[in-house]
Amino acid sequence: MRRVVTALLVSGVAAGIPAGAGEPVEIVARVEHEALGEVSGIVKSDRGDFYWVHNDSGDEARLFAI
């Protein structure tokens, strides 16, 4: 039980630190489209030639490939 509690505490602390925290940010592109009023998440595709984005805030949950 003690190992489980320790693992949960360690994973909770690690989850609270954003990846790349403190590193400079470089804007590499801007995407503007009326369907993408507010993008809630983005991930690079396994193919590497497009990104998946999803829009769910104040809208129906939708997935877009851009």
Q: Is the full-model pTM beyond 0.75?
A: no
Q: Which of 60, 61, 43, 62 is nearest to 52 (CA)?
A: 43
Q: What is the pLDDT of residue 46?
A: 92
Q: What is the pLDDT of residue 22?
A: 76
pLDDT digits 0-9 by tens, 42-62: 899 998 889 999 887 777 888
pLDDT digits 0-9 by tens, 5-53: 555 555 555 556 666 667 888 888 888 888 887 888 889 999 888 999 9
Give the N- to C-terminal CA distance of the chain in Å, as an integer. 45
